[in-house]
Amino acid sequence: MELKLLKYFESIMETEVAKNILDSNGIKSMLEKSGIHFPGDGGDSMGAGLYVSEENLNKAKELLNL
């Protein structure tokens, strides 16, 4: 199964919220953090990408209003 980038988010917290929405609607997704993370920054200094399967890409975009 090939994964496609759904969206790159500036904040990991924002990415996790989107991932939870997809998960609760039966769409499996993968979060990939970017850059170097520092203690105490919550990982938000570099953001993260959210990936889904190509077959779920359009449905995921609809659910997240992208």
Q: Which domains can be identified in the chain, with CATH numbers?
A: 3-36+44-63 (3.30.70)
Distance (Å, rounded) from C-alpha 33 to C-alpha 25? 22
pLDDT in the model for residue 15: 93
pTM, two decimal places: 0.82
pLDDT in the model for residue 47: 84
pLDDT in the model for residue 31: 93
pLDDT in the model for residue 19: 97
Strand-pairing partners, residue 48, are 9, 33
Residue found under tokens 């920054």: 41
Q: What is the pLDDT along the chain (66 residues), one digit of tens a residue?
A: 799 999 999 888 899 999 999 999 999 999 998 766 556 555 556 789 999 999 999 999 999 999
